């Protein structure tokens, strides 16, 4: 009993010292980031729920969009836990000597695992659009094979990249400590930089350009067919109704292709910009760390600002999915209209009850 009391006192003292070592501006940043991440979590899981009520022709596309929102919400929860539990500040007074907490939580393994899953899912979404646009005939017949390939690729690549985090912390005298060796730290950071940001950017761009080009060619082809039908209809008056109907059908197809092209281009552009910005930010942080101007690593307070910056991108991603998918946007608008009708109905009912009571 006495030993337990002593341990409790020591733990409370360590936590008190750790709290005192965090500046007020860092607390404000942590709270603000957690509020933003909480909002993003709600939006992500709501979008996943809305997808279950949305009709999308491709099963793979629907699954990947659902996964994107679930992974994004999970990432927000993991980052919020890391910030709230102060497990990014262990150099100020290690609160735990648990190897699991040291290797998995404090090293950033869980954060990297969830963020890599989001990026891998984006790669699969680009591959899905590539398969659907380039290999049209085999896309439907091999949908199950594509789904299996995506579900194997996402966890395998995520574990590979996030596994590098295991080597960035060590247990020293029963306490968790960050990696001190400068060369090893920068080698691990460079490998993570290439695998997590550089390769995904290259893959996304390489698979998006053929899709946009193919959609562009389809629009041009539909326009040519429409012009041919219009010229032939002017020659033969007896076939004018059928020609008008064909022209309208071609216009609908052209409009659909333009919407698809705009959605693919916008989504890929946003993802490429985000990953490129994060790539340059990490390069700058690594360069400043190499020059010993700042400390960037598993034990650095810079991680707080970095996670706050990522949370802004994460929140924006939730709205990008809604804006670029027409069917999902219609579902969200329908939910919003239903909520407004219920709110107006409840207000009217309350007013009626209030009048009856008077």
- Structure confidence by residue, pLDDT tens digits, 118-148: 889 888 888 888 887 788 778 878 888 888 9
In sequence order, what are the residues at sequence separation of 6 or more whose Cβ sits closer than 8 angstroms to the Cβ of residue 154?
A: 67, 117, 120, 121, 124
CATH level 3 topology of 2-228+242-345: Rhopdopsin 7-helix transmembrane proteins (1.20.1070)
In sequence order, what are the residues at sequence separation of 6 or more whose Cβ sits closer than 8 angstroms to the Cβ of residue 32?
A: 308
Point out which residues pair with 176 in neighbouring strands.
171
pLDDT at 217 > cutoff 60? yes
Closest-CA residue to 69 (of 125, 131, 16): 125
Residues 73 and 29: their CA atoms lie apart, in Å, by 20
Residues 78 and 81: their CA atoms lie apart, in Å, by 5
**Annotated domain spans of the chain:** 2-228+242-345
Q: Output the pLDDT for position 354.
A: 58
For residue 34, what is the enclosing H or E element? helix 24-52
**CA-based torsion, 165, 108, 310, 303: positive or negative:** negative
Global pTM value:
0.75
For residue 206, what is the enclosing H or E element? helix 199-235
Closest-CA residue to 129 (of 331, 322, 324): 324
Would you tell me the crossing angle of helices 302-324 and 240-290 to the nearest 10 degrees? 180
- Structure confidence by residue, pLDDT tens digits, 21-60: 566 767 777 788 888 888 888 888 988 888 888 887 778 8
* Helices and strands counted in the chain (H then E): 12, 2
Let me know if 353 is exposed, middle or buried by CB neighbors in 10 A (0-12, 13-18, 19+).
exposed
Instruction: Compute the C-alpha angle 15/21/27, nearest 5°.
Output: 90
Question: Residue 117's CB: how many other CB atoms inside 10 A?
Answer: 24
Instruction: Compute the C-alpha angle 184/189/193, nearest 5°.
Output: 150
- Structure confidence by residue, pLDDT tens digits, 48-102: 888 888 887 778 888 888 888 899 889 888 888 877 777 665 544 444 567 777 7
CB 68 within 8 A of CB 117: no
């Amino acid at each position: 009993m006495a030993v337990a009391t002593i341990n409790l006192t020591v733990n409370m003292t360590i936590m008190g010292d750790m709290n005192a070592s965090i500046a007020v501006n860092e607390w404000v940043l942590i709270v603000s980031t957690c509020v933003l991440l909480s909002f993003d979590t709600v939006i992500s899981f709501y979008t996943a729920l809305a997808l279950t009520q949305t009709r999308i022709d491709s099963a793979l596309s629907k699954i990947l969009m659902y996964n994107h929102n679930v992974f994004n919400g999970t990432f927000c929860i993991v980052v919020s836990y890391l910030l709230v539990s102060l497990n990014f500040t262990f150099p100020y007074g290690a609160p735990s000597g648990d190897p699991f907490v040291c290797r998995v939580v404090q090293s950033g393994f869980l954060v990297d695992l969830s963020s890599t899953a989001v990026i891998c899912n984006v790669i699969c979404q680009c591959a899905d659009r590539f398969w659907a646009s380039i290999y049209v005939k085999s896309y439907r017949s091999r949908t199950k094979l594509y789904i299996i390939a995506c579900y194997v690729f996402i966890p395998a690549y995520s574990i590979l990249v996030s596994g590098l985090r295991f080597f960035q912390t060590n247990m020293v005298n029963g306490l968790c400590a960050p990696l001190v060796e400068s060369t090893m730290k920068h080698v691990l950071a460079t490998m993570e930089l290439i695998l997590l940001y550089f390769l995904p950017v290259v893959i996304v761009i390489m698979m998006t350009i053929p899709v946009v080009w193919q959609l562009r060619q389809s629009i041009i082809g539909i326009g040519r067919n429409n012009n041919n039908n219009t010229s032939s209809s002017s020659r033969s008056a007896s076939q004018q109704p059928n020609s008008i109907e064909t022209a309208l059908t071609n216009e609908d197809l052209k409009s659909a292709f333009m919407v698809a092209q705009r959605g693919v281009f916008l989504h890929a552009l946003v993802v490429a910009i985000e990953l490129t910005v994060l790539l340059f930010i990490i390069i700058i942080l690594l360069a400043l760390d190499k020059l010993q101007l700042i400390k960037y690593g598993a034990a650095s307070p810079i991680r707080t600002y970095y996670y706050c910056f990522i949370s802004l991108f994460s929140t924006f991603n939730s709205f990008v999915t809604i804006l670029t998918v027409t069917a999902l946007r219609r579902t969200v608008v329908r939910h919003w209209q239903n909520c407004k009708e219920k709110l107006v109905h409840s207000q009217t009912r309350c007013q009626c009850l209030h009048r009856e009571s008077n």
